[in-house]
Each structure stands twice: as structure tokens, then as C-alpha cells.
Structure 1
Amino acid sequence: MPKVVVIGAGIVGTSLADELTARGWPDVTVVDRGPLFATGGSTSHAPGLVFQTNASKTMTAFAKYTVEKFNALEHPDGWAFNPVGGLEVATTPERLADLHRKAGWAQSWGVEGRLLTPAECVSLHPLVDRDRILGGFHTPADGLAKAVRAAEAQARRAEARGATFRPHTEVLGIVEDGRRVVGVRTADGVIDADIVVCAAGFWGAQFARQVGLVLPLVPMAHQYARTGQIADLVGRNTDLAEAGLPILRHQDQDLYFREHVDRLGIGSYSHKPMPVDMATLMADTAGEPMPSMMPFTEEDFAPAWRAAADLLPALKDSKVEEAFNGIFSFTPDGMSIMGEHRELAGFWVAEAVWVTHSAGVARATAEWIIDGAPSIDTHECDLYRFEDVARSPNFIMQTSSQAFVEVYDVIHPHQYRTALRGLRTSPFHARQTELGAHFYEGGGWERPAWFESNAALAEQLFDDVLTAPRRDSWASKFWSPISVAEAHWTREHVAMYDMTPLTRYEVAGPGAAAFLQRMTTNNVDKSVGSVTYTLLLDHTGGVRSDLTVARLAPDTFQVGANSPMDFDWLSRHKPDDVVLRDITGGTCCLGVWGPSARDVLAPRCPDDLSHEAFKYFRAIHTYLDAIPVTMMRVSYVGELGWEIYASAEYGSALWDLVAEAGTPHGIIPAGRIAFNSLRIEKGYRSWGTDMTAEHHPAAAGIDFAVRLAKDTDFIGKQALLQAKPPASVLRSIVFDDADAAVLGKEPVFVDGVCAGYVTSAGYSATVGRTIAYAWLPSPVAVGDVVSVHYRGAPYTATVHAEPVVDPEMTRIRR
């Protein structure tokens, strides 16, 4: 049985010990530099709020499991979880609208919740000033965790199964044999281990550097204060119960409140970010009860106190009696960090985890370690989700600080940071800027969303052939009707798209073909020049990613991938006779698509671009004028055309060449919004949004990319052979109202019952309606009517056969 050492006996480490031992792994040793179980880390002072509803389905699942598990814990001193419920109130119309959006998330992810009138809010929480609020959102199963008790209760269960807990045991280093861990070194000697899990909280990033691992997290101080006695609370709670009113969040002022018998605890995110210098931490916290509690900065709390008293008038007769600045971990995207070190097998991390998600993260980590994959998708928390630029100290500090500032903000799904922009640009960027591109950001790349240079064309098209959808103010943010014109023009004429940010790897060497056959679901061992759409699965048969694999030489493949996690997965399984390189930054790619694409490119290419000579899903090395290029006849927008790859130094010349060649044919540059709507029209999935590792290929509608009959026993094949028919499937739905707009994650109702959720959507210029993908129960059939609730407003839609546009695939194969 493997020996496991967990570093950190806080809420994550104790939860993990419980989860591992419950699965039959008893040889678990948990060590901590502090005492048990108030170790001195964030768990020891955590206010214990557990709110389940989150924009992330994964984070919501983590919190739901935490509520479920903590509710069942027993401790001799009293409760470990008090399900007082949660109440969020709105004092602005913007926040009230966002609560409707949040209620939609709750429905989508299976969390019980209800929108309330101001009077209903006051009935639940009588301290709230009725005249200050416009409404609220109540989640009755949310509550308060007694974090130290919850940690101890789980630790005792783990001990009963064989686990050992060692306080005052600081890990000084990791013992390794060159490729994997074999133990941890302490002042008392070495503790042998086959697996080491770093769950050290805000100390984790500093510790992980010892093994060459960058954890993008920043320890930040966050203010928490307790008032004196509140007259209106006297007699409401016993010392044992401690709280009875719902947890209250006043996010318009970055505040939350919870009861402490007859006093209130107030947490504030309204102050400036306070990153902690770990080098001076012990000196900075000297004299405080524990090293995770810094001295309270009263001047930073003054505005928060005034805002709190405005919402809760009972505070005006009280004052702050005790307070501190408590340290928690923040990451660039607000997600936790989980996974195994790629270069040091057996070294795992479970970091940047708040009490809210602790049990869920622990369960997923235990499943990952023991079974090879978690039972839910965790790509948003994956250790290797970060691009190289996102692991730089400056990036980590700036973006984590922004995550702190925005923790309670209303964030639009297409709202991107303003700092640290322009870090990754394609060679086309200068030309795009000249054409008035509005840029989105993704993976550090600047990606044109639409082009102001197409405004006059859009105006003409809306006068003559198109109708612009009327969007509300929320759906109109970071969007332009120009994108509708760009999509239409692509379908009718020709457009050029910057595909440079598409992640590209080169897989080469004598074993390249055999390696990709083992790793992917489709047959990629085909002739030179073949292009194959295929999948990466995990051991459970879940879709880790989808790839486009082009065989450019007998031992050389170009792989179009999704994220650094694909590089990580391939690297872990790569044999010695294969070389894997990320070639994205040294290359560029221009997509030229539309009925006139061949007319634009053929005169500039010495090779025959006719359909007979250059079939769909083929690739060639050739030239456009003097520029050496690789042309792939693939199309994510479902139109005739090519992806044109070149070395980056040719980028500007390539753009100018195609623009000049396309001028007689009316070529335009087009952006990501048009691209997205066109791919949804054609039934093409986006990994990470429409499908994840939670889904088998058949459920996601991509089982055509699986060749179970091929000789190679690819990863996930056995799981697919044993799979049952999926309970839910991904469907295309078309809205009835021409002006209906959804942005993703909205709940979908079948016969009045919430049965699924939207993944992605786009307005189709071709059909004049929004088309969306939605996960729905398998019995829901083409032609059935569903209802989608967008920020509280219901819109009907009809399940449609796929693809919605050009089901015969004639446009792409001409």
C-alpha cells in the first residue's frame, strides 16, 4: 500500500487524509509546523462561510460536497457546520440583475435558491435596512463551517483508519531519487513516502519552489472585525448555536457578515490589496495570535464600517472590539491549484483552497491520486493550466491583486483585464490595430473580436439584407453588431481570421506515429498530408481535449491543441524516441474562409488548390508567392478555405499578401465573435466550454472521432467499451425570439423543470436567431421545445438537428 505524506494539517490536509483513508489507503502521515488543529494557518482564523453558488460548475460542485460532508461531521465540542443559509442583497439595479444571473447558475448547477423581495430579505435578516435594498438571493443550504472542528473531526476519522498526525513537524525538504519522491526531510529525520501532497496553504508556493515548481498564488491579507454586543442580537443565539441568521453578503460594498452569538463579524474586501511578504512574515506577525494573522489596519476599515452601518443601522450603537488582517491565498483566476508535478512523480499540490471548497478539492485530489482521474472536471484548477507568461512573478502579483479587488464585483463573461495586455501578439497585430480591431484576451494573446473597419459594410448590410438583433445592455457589452456582418460576409464571400493563438505542437521522432496512436482516439497513422480530428481521453473515457493532427512527414506531426494542459498530458506519456515541442510562438496562422477563398489563394500558389487535387482534411507544404507556408484544408467555420501556417517572420508579409490578393473579391478581416457564431452554426464543439473531461465522446456528439476498432489500445478505450448510454447529451437549440441572447451557463427547463444548462451561444446571421449548445437529458429529442432563463427572463427555444447550417456539408467541400 503506498505511503502518503500530507504537508499541512489545515482543512485541506485533514480532509484529504479522511478521503484517502476512506478509500482504503491507511498509510497516511499528516505533518504540520504548528499545533493540532489550530495550526496557525488560514484555517485557524477562517470565518467559515460556505457559499455554494459560483460561476464555475466545478467550484460549485466542490462547495456542494463540502456542505454535504461537513453537515455529517461530529465533534464533541459541538457543530462543525451550521446551515444557517446564505443571503445576498442588492443595493443597485446592476447587482439585482446579477442576482438573477446568479440564481440561474444555482439552477444550472443544482443548488436550491430563491430570489427575494426587500421585505422577504428583512424577514430573514431583521438587521437589514429595508429602504437600502432592492432585493436579494437566498440559498438555504449554505452555512457556517467551524473550520478547526471540521478539520479535527475528519482527522479523527482518518486516525481511526490508520492515519498519523504529527504536530510541530516542519518539512525541511523533499527527498527524491531523481525522478520521483521517496520521502520528506524533517528535523527528526526522514519520513518515507511514495506520494507527498503539499497542502500547506499560503506557505505552499514558497515550499514548492524547493522542487522547481511555480504555484501562481499570492498570500493576501483580508480584514475581519468583530463588533461589540449588538442589542438586537441579545437573546437570539446560545453560545453553543452561535448563529441563526443567514450569512449576509453586501457585495456592492465588498462586505459580508456573520453572527458570533450577540456580536457580528464583518469581513471586508473593500480595501486595497495587501500582498504578504513571506520573507518577513514571522516578524510582521510577531505578537499576533498566529502567523496567519497580521495587525489590523484600522484606517483601511473605516469606509467599510460606514458602509456596514448604512446597511445595518444596529451597528451605529456599536464599535469594533477586536479585528485582524487574516492571510488567505489568491490566484490569477480565483481558482484553486491542483495536480501532480510533471518532473517529480509523486509530488502533488492542493493549494489556494478556501474552507468553502475544501472537502470537494480533497475528494477530487484523492480520486486523482488513487484512480488516475477525478470524478468531476478539474481543468479550471489544473496546476498546468497556466501559460509561461502567467507564471512570471509580475504577472502572478498583478493578476492575483486584481482577483482580490474583483472578488465581489459583477464580472461580465467577456470582460478582460486591462493590466498586462499586449504580452502575446501575432505578427498581424499592427495591421489589426490599424483596422480598428477590438481585442479580447486569452492565454495572454490579443485576439480580435471585431473590426471597426467593417462598420460601413455592416451598416450597408443591415440596410439591405440583415437585421441587427436588439440586445439588452448586458448582452451588448464587449459585443458589436459588426460581428454579425462579418459572419454573414464569411458565408457569402470571404474573410481572413487570425488563428495564431491556436496552440500548436510538433511531435516528431521514430515513435511519433505510434505515440499519437496510443494517446488519441482516431487513426492518425495515415499518409503524409493527412489531417485528422481526434481526442485525448483520460482513463475514465472523459474528453481531456480535442486535437487536429496533421502528418507533415513520416516522422513529423503538427498538433493543434487547446492549452498547456495538453502539453503536460502528452509530456507525461511521451517515450524517449519522441520529441515534443511547442511551436506556437515561432509560427503564425491565417484562416482564409468563404466561397471565394480559392479565388483569392489559387493565383498566388504554385500548387493545384482545386477540390480534386487538394481534398478536405489534407495538408501540403507550398508557397504563396515567395512565402513558404503549410496549408491545411480544414475549416472551423464550415466554409471552403484553408488554415495557412508560416514561420512568424513571414507574418506581416503573409497578411499583406492575402489582403491584396483578396481585395478584388471583397475580403475582410473578421474577429472571434463571428468565428464563434459560425462554428456553432456548424455544430463544432469548443473544448473546456461545451465539453470537458466529465463527458464521454458519445454524450458530446463527437464519437465520430473515436475508432474503437483500431489495433492500438488508446487511453480511455476500455472505459468507452464498458460505458453505459449517456444520461445527458449536448444539443443545439435555436431560439424563437430573434432578439434572444444568452451568454452561457443559463439554466434550461424542460416541462417546467430545470434539466440542463447552456454552454456557449452565438447569434447566427444565417438563420437570424441565436443558436446555443445545451446539455439536456438524453430523451429530449429534435423538435422539442425548451425554455432558457436569461437573467430571470424566459426564452423558448427548439432542439435542432445538427449542424443547423449546411447539414450536407456541401459548402466546405466545394
Structure 2
Amino acid sequence: MTTPKAVIVGAGIVGSSLADELTARGWTDVTVLDRGPLFATGGSTSHAPGLVFATNPSKTMTELASYTLEKFSSLEHPDGWCFNHVGGLEVATTEARWTDLHRKAGWAASRGVEHELLDPAECVALHPLIDPDTILGGLHTPRDGLAKALRAVEAQATRAMARGARFLPHQDVVEVVESNGAVRGVRTTTGIVDADIVVCCTGFWGREFGRRVGLTIPLVPMAHQYAITTPVASRAGVNSPLAEASLPILRHQDQDLYFREHGDRLGIGYYGHRPMPSDVGALDYDAVISLDEMPSKLAFTPGDFEEAWLQSAALLPELGDGKVEEGFNGIFSFTPDGHSVMGEHRELSGFWVAEAVWVTHSAGVARTMAEWMVDGTPGIDVHETDLYRFEDAALTDDFILTTSSQSFVEVYDVIHPHDQRKAPRQVRTSPFYERQVALGAQFWEAGLWERPAWFESNGALLDSLIADGLEIPARDAWSARHWSPIAVAEAAWTRSHVAAYDMTPLTRYELSGPGALDLLQRLTTNNLDKSVGSVTYTLMLDEKGGVRSDLTVARLREQTFQVGANGPTDFDWISRHLPDDGSVSLRDITGATCCIGLWGPLARTVLGPLTPLDLTNDGLRYFRSAATTIGSIPVTLMRVSYVGELGWEIYTSAEYGRALWDLIFDAGAPHGIIAAGRIAFNSLRIEKGYRSAGTDMTIEHTPSAAGLDFAVRMSKDTFIGKEALPQRDSTSQLRTLRLADPAAVVLGKEPVSFGDDVVGYVTSAGWSPTVGACLAFAWLPSDVSDGTEVHVAYLETTYRATVVADPVVDPEMKRIRR
């Protein structure tokens, strides 16, 4: 069988791992090029401290790291070990950090990462240099450890070369050769290397390399301080030159520090200094590269390390007898969200990217890339690392630098799941923004949109509802962050009266042309061959039958469809499947339009007098749309409701937005209309059992497992993923939990236990004013029945919960159809 010719640019830990993974899958015509020598090429791998920690807020990043540590454990090198399971130890010196370590323990538990929480004495037993009086406890992860990065590179490269791969040093790639929208090879300073596939694994040079093919790779090369101490007396003779380290990797995140052994010395990494973005164009590529001198190792700046040394000696008092003997500022990559960047160039077939990858995740990224390239689909969900996950405005130089610098500063911070990006803000605002500010909107940001979370103007409503008997239990300090009881009042008022929600940030595409229907039928699971005016909820699957996204598709005209989607990766997926004959046009119309969701039992009373359209059930049925007017404003009404109440999504051009808002609020004033925010919206959709793609379900889940069989029409001739569905046997199911204690709140990613065993994890949650308890979605074993009692570990508390049938509210759908 003929396999593609693949050229990997970059022979560091990612490129070498990828060569190993590709050749193991039968792609033997693989050439790896690097501008430096082999295998200390002068990039980040050459100076990497080699820390591999599996536990991460992201399930995907945990899986990538877990594979890396297990694979590196199996590698062999004549000079010694490639991975040392010394374990990891994170210590807490503040109550906030100690609580956060419990949260991390929950992530580890839900993902099968071996771990234990330790008291100070147990921490010192593992790492005797620690002053026990400075810490409250620690999180021990015994399978974590140290990668000897250059040995791991060479061991994998050696295996790849045994299968036919070539590794060529001193090859400066100056151009990607392309023809008719596809790669044909690369031009180096010594000639052309033919290729069907080119993979950019150039590390912190990735952004500059991407520019050569018209691609923005959102990363910033950032310098990070690393110092090595003079010998530590108590460690003399403990570690042999071969073993190098026996103490667990120590992380003192309250002071942005980590420590690892180098024989009888300690290496200290520091994230507490100012961000130091680096200009790769100014680096010296012509010097002779060695382990001591390389482009990625900048001069140490002692002034930036002064606080680090003081705090290191406070935690590890024996360091006070020594000093920093050597140090450097090493360059590696940071991205706006802290995740890697993976995928294929949409406009240049065969050009792939695996960038912003630390040693921690390297082998996992390589395996996933190889699966993606060879099989057509990655083996795990990668939407958090997808090359096309960013909005256009997030690909500007200013945004990438500002947010990547924030990522650096926050590496070791305690990050709340609802913490908001500090800058830039107010990049995308709806036409209603000034009106929302006037109402005291408290904004969250997503996709660069300012989205009201709740409105302070509804404080009087909260007081009124409490006086009428609404009970809202007090929250703990953590779950009360970025939250207000006003949001509960907004949700309750939506169920009893009427509320307006700004749905403008909902991603909207227009698909039009004679081939639009055929394309949508092929891309989605439901039947879209319906009459003009139909609105259909449907799914997009990958080739293996996993849920990529969910869509709401309205057929506005015979050949024109409006698609409510979830973000840039949906645009990318649809774009890649556009027919070559030009029969389909795809446009992102989000910014040119706006939308108000008007929902609640009084919605018809408010909207009816403003439009000539018959809004009764006979006039505009559920899941139907119609073009009409509201006052003088042309609008499209869609009778859909993500909150499960009577109402409409009202769309118009952005130029009419402010007038639309004013008309609706003037008409709604006699009926008590309010503006409501995202927190209320989220609680109401969970009450109704409505899933959120990317949060509640990913490509790792089938429609059936996610409870979305109703959106799949197997009677259709074909759609992507159809053939794979009968072969997918899911052992888990997305279920709804109701927490027993009305004051109990969870926020997502908590482990769920049955008896002594962790059996699943929470995806999303919200406090329901309708039932007076927190409701949560959780992935659980398929055989768990309604009424089963489980336990959810939340920070330092464990809550009882019951598995309940969903939707919890209005399962007969009477409210939405009234």
C-alpha cells in the first residue's frame, strides 16, 4: 500500500514523537527536518526541565499528558531512563490553595489519575526539604514524574528510523512548496524535499513559520526563568549520576514556583516574573548550538528572580545556605487559552500544525495527530486544541500577545471556572449593549462577546420574590464568585412572567445556493428536507459517529438556510465540506445581525400587538419561522426556546437592534418584562434537559449516549457518521442529577461516586428555582437507573444526589407549546 510522503519540520519532542507514531501506523516515507543539530536542536525541548503532570482542568489535556508519561516510561535509551516516576507533589500554603487541591483531586479522581491528599507530615516524608510549618497539606500524584526530554526524542527517533524515517539536521526550511491548494514539499537551503504532507512542529518558531503559508498560529514565544542551585548538603550522595532525581517534583504554586532535582542540586522554575515575550527574529541561529548555548536559552535576569529565591528558601530552608549557581531564561510557547494548537490548514491541503506543545503533552499530541492524519479522525476530543477554535478577532497580534501574556501570569493561579479574561474587553458588543449597561448588566465574556450574566436592575425583583416566598440558600464563597442571587430571580420570573435574553452572540451562518440542502443533509443527522419556514434541531457527527456539534437550522427560503451553530470550529467543518462546484455559499452573519430571545408565559401578550403575524399555535407553530415586522423593523421570528418557555427568537439586522430593544421593552413594561442573563439561561436549559455541545457532549459521545436520539434519522440515505453509529457501543449515558441539599451547588467537572467507586463526572450544573435545588448533568454508567443515589465530591465536601429522569421541568412540553 502506498502511503503519503510526510515531511515534519522540527525534530524536537513533538516532531520526533510524531515520526514514531506515524511510522508505527505504516507511514514509512517520513522525513524530519531541523535547522539545528540532532537531537539537541536548540529549541525548547533542548532545555526543557521535563515535568509531566497529568492532572489538568481540561479532560483532553489530562489524557494527552497521561499517554505521554506512560509512553515515555516504555522507551529505552542506552544512556539510561527516559522517564522517572518520581511523582508529583503540590503543596498549599494558603487555605485557598488547599481547597483548590481538593478540586484538583476531584479532576484526578474523575479521570483515573492516581492521587492522594496528604497532611504536612506526610508531605515532608516524601520531600524532606520542606518546612512543615509553612504548608497546610499537599496533593501527591505518584505516576507523574520527569521526562529526560532529549533521550525521549532520540529513543523515538531511533524507532522511527528503524521503520524507514529519515532525520536530517541543519536543514533550514525557507518555503513550503504548494500547487493548486495543496502542499508539494518544502524548499530548504540545500534543495527541495517532496511531500504530500507537511507538519509544522517548529515550537516557538511556529507563528513565524505559519505566516509563510498565510496561516495565523496563535502563540507567543515567552521566556521563563529556570535556575539551578549550589549543592544541597543533605542531598549529597543520595542520587546517583544516572538516577539524577528521587524526590517528587515539587510545585509551590502559591508563589509560582516548581522544584526538581539535578543530582545534589535543585532546579527552580519561576512563573512569578513579568511576562517576557521574545522576538524570534532576533535570536542567534548561526552560532554553534550546544546544551549550554542555544537560541532558546536567553541570559538569566537575576533581578526578576529575587522574590523567587526568597520564597524558595522560606519553603525549603536549607536553600538559605546556598545560592543560585546558574540560570537562564528559556523560551517556550504560550497561547491565549493555554492549550496546544493542532489541525490542518483549511486553505492548504496537507499542511498540518502541532504547536505550543510542552513536553508534558508531547507524546499524547503526537498520537492524536497521527490518528487524525492517518484515520481521518482523532481518537479523543480536541475541540479545546483545534487550530480553528479562535474567532477572527482573537487572531490579531494585539489579542494574541495580551491574552498569551495573561496565560503566562496565570499558569499557577487558582482559576475559578467563571473567571473572566481581563483584556482585551468590549471587543464585540451587541446593539443592546448601552441599554444593558444602563440596567446594571454584569458581563461575562466568550468569543470576545460581552454577555450579560445578570442585571443589577433586577435587585428589586429579587427582594419582591423573596418576600413572596422564593428561597435561595446562601452559597459558599467559591460558588458565589461571579454569581448573584438576582440570576435566580431572573430564571424564576422567566418561568412565571416574561424575560428578554440577548441571543446576539449565538453564532449564525447563512448557507445558500442550489446545493445547500444536499450539503446540510450530508453534514447533519436530522431530516432538513422540509418546507420553507421549518426549524430543525440536528447534530453534526464525525466519521466515527461522535457528536461534533449541535445546530438549529431554519429554512428561510427554498435555497437559503440560517444555521445556529457553536463557534468557529463549526464554520471550519462546514467549509471543508463545501462542494467544489460553487453551488453553496457560506457566510458568517453573526456580527451583521442581532437577536432577542423573548420567553415566558406572557411573551405572546407582549409581542402580539407589535406584529401583524398570527402568533397563535395555528399561526406560527412550535419549531417554525416566519418573516414579518415588529413596528417598522423587518424581523425573522423563530418559535424555538432554549429555556423551555413560550416565546420566540427575534432576529433582525444589527442596525435595527436598539430600536427593536426599545419597542419590546416599551410594550413589555405593563407586563413586568425584565432583561435576564446567562446564568438564568443556563439554569433554565438544564431544567429542560437541553445539552450544550463541547461541554455536555463531544466526539467521544454518541447521540444516543447523550440522550439525543430524537435528532437522528437513520432513515436518511446518508450522513457523516451514519455507518459508524451501529458499531458504537456506549457504556455511559448523560444523566441528570438532583442534589439533595438545597444549599448544595456544584460547578462542573466534579467526580461522581457510587459506593466507594468513582463512576462518572459532572459536565454542567445550575441552581433551579423551579425545583429548589441544584441540577447537574453527569456522565454515568449506562445501567444506572432513575432514583439511584450517588455522591458528588465538591471541593472539601461530598454531596448526596439522586439520578432523575430529564427533563426535570415540563416533560410533556406543555409550557413551550401553550
**Pairwise TM-score range, normalised by the shorter structure:** over 0.9
Distance 1:513 1:565 in 2: 20
Could you tell me whether the CA contact under 8 Å between 1:2 and 1:195 is conserved in 2? yes
- Equivalence map 1:589-738=2 (5 Å): 589-711=595-717, 713-724=718-729, 726-738=730-742
Following superposition, the deviation at residue 46 of structure 1 comes to: 0.1
Is 1:301 matched up with 2:305? yes
Give 3-state SS (helix, strand or coil) of 1:411's partner.
coil
**Which residue pairs with 2:409 in the alignment?**
405
Give 3-state SS (helix, strand or coil) of 1:379's partner.
coil
Could you tell me whether the CA contact under 8 Å between 1:285 and 1:295 is conserved in 2? no
Give 3-state SS (helix, strand or coil) of 1:446's partner.
strand
Following superposition, the deviation at residue 721 of structure 1 comes to: 2.8
Give 3-state SS (helix, strand or coil) of 1:353's partner.
coil
Distance 2:288 2:193 in 1: 30
Among 466, 482, 487, the alignment partner of 1:483 is 487
Following superposition, the deviation at residue 722 of structure 1 comes to: 2.4
Distance 1:395 1:513, change over 3 A: same
Distance 1:424 1:285 in 2: 46
Following superposition, the deviation at residue 752 of structure 1 comes to: 1.8
Among 31, 45, 67, the alignment partner of 1:29 is 31
Could you tell me whether the CA contact under 8 Å between 1:6 and 1:199 is conserved in 2? yes
- Equivalence map 1:190-229=2 (5 Å): 190-229=192-231
Among 783, 787, 800, the alignment partner of 1:783 is 787
Unaligned runs of 5+ in 2: none
Moved more, 139-148 or 463-472: 463-472
Distance 1:285 1:552 in 2: 63
Runs of 4+ in 1 over 6 A off after TM superposition: 283-288
- Equivalence map 1:391-790=2 (5 Å): 391-575=395-579, 576-711=582-717, 713-724=718-729, 726-790=730-794
Following superposition, the deviation at residue 284 of structure 1 comes to: 12
Distance 2:449 2:587 in 1: 19
Give 3-state SS (helix, strand or coil) of 2:122's partner.
helix
**Which residue pairs with 1:161 in the alignment?**
163
Could you tell me whether the CA contact under 8 Å between 2:7 and 2:31 is conserved in 1? yes
Give 3-state SS (helix, strand or coil) of 1:216's partner.
coil
* Cα-to-partner distance string for 1:737-769 (whole Å, 9 max, x where unaligned): 000000000000012200100000000000000
Give 3-state SS (helix, strand or coil) of 2:478's partner.
helix
The amino acid across from 1:620 in the alignment is A
Could you tell me whether the CA contact under 8 Å between 1:285 and 1:292 is conserved in 2? no
**Which residue pairs with 2:187 in the alignment?**
185
Give 3-state SS (helix, strand or coil) of 1:310's partner.
helix
Distance 2:781 2:775 in 1: 18
Distance 1:729 1:376 in 2: 17
Distance 1:354 1:517 in 2: 40
- Return the TM-score normalized by structure 1: 0.99
The amino acid across from 1:680 in the alignment is I
The amino acid across from 2:552 in the alignment is T
RMSD: 1.0
* Cα-to-partner distance string for 1:38-72 (whole Å, 9 max, x where unaligned): 11100000000001100000000000000110000
**Which residue pairs with 1:94 in the alignment?**
96
**Which residue pairs with 2:4 in the alignment?**
2
- Equivalence map 1:353-392=2 (5 Å): 353-392=357-396
Distance 2:732 2:307 in 1: 49
Distance 1:701 1:152 in 2: 46
**Which residue pairs with 2:236 in the alignment?**
234
Distance 1:640 1:315, change over 3 A: same
Q: How many residues align?
A: 812
Distance 2:252 2:690 in 1: 41
Following superposition, the deviation at residue 122 of structure 1 comes to: 0.5
* Cα-to-partner distance string for 1:19-39 (whole Å, 9 max, x where unaligned): 001111111110100111111
Distance 2:193 2:546 in 1: 36
**Which residue pairs with 1:275 in the alignment?**
277
Among 129, 134, 137, the alignment partner of 2:136 is 134
- Equivalence map 1:63-74=2 (5 Å): 63-74=65-76
Could you tell me whether the CA contact under 8 Å between 2:285 and 2:295 is conserved in 1? no
- Return the TM-score normalized by structure 2: 0.99
* Cα-to-partner distance string for 1:694-736 (whole Å, 9 max, x where unaligned): 111111111110101012x111111113222x10010000000
Could you tell me whether the CA contact under 8 Å between 1:517 and 1:523 is conserved in 2? yes
Among 338, 342, 351, the alignment partner of 1:338 is 342
Distance 1:607 1:62 in 2: 54
Following superposition, the deviation at residue 664 of structure 1 comes to: 1.2
Following superposition, the deviation at residue 283 of structure 1 comes to: 8.1
Is 1:806 matched up with 2:774? no
Distance 2:578 2:439 in 1: 43
Give 3-state SS (helix, strand or coil) of 2:223's partner.
strand
The amino acid across from 1:638 in the alignment is G
Could you tell me whether the CA contact under 8 Å between 1:121 and 1:136 is conserved in 2? yes
**Which residue pairs with 2:257 in the alignment?**
255
The amino acid across from 2:651 in the alignment is Y
Give 3-state SS (helix, strand or coil) of 2:724's partner.
helix
* Cα-to-partner distance string for 1:381-416 (whole Å, 9 max, x where unaligned): 000000011000000000000000000000100000
Distance 1:655 1:465 in 2: 31
Give 3-state SS (helix, strand or coil) of 2:269's partner.
strand
Could you tell me whether the CA contact under 8 Å between 2:340 and 2:357 is conserved in 1? yes
Give 3-state SS (helix, strand or coil) of 2:538's partner.
strand
Following superposition, the deviation at residue 417 of structure 1 comes to: 1.4
Give 3-state SS (helix, strand or coil) of 2:693's partner.
coil
Give 3-state SS (helix, strand or coil) of 2:458's partner.
helix
Following superposition, the deviation at residue 281 of structure 1 comes to: 1.6
Give 3-state SS (helix, strand or coil) of 2:500's partner.
strand
Give 3-state SS (helix, strand or coil) of 2:761's partner.
strand
The amino acid across from 1:25 in the alignment is W
Moved more, 161-170 or 630-639: 161-170
Could you tell me whether the CA contact under 8 Å between 1:284 and 1:294 is conserved in 2? no
* Cα-to-partner distance string for 1:568-596 (whole Å, 9 max, x where unaligned): 00000011210000000000000000000
The amino acid across from 1:185 in the alignment is R
Following superposition, the deviation at residue 279 of structure 1 comes to: 2.0
Following superposition, the deviation at residue 285 of structure 1 comes to: 8.9
Distance 1:158 1:648, change over 3 A: same
Distance 1:764 1:522 in 2: 30
* Cα-to-partner distance string for 1:418-443 (whole Å, 9 max, x where unaligned): 21110000000000000000000000
* Cα-to-partner distance string for 1:484-517 (whole Å, 9 max, x where unaligned): 0000000001000000000000000011111100
Unaligned runs of 5+ in 1: none
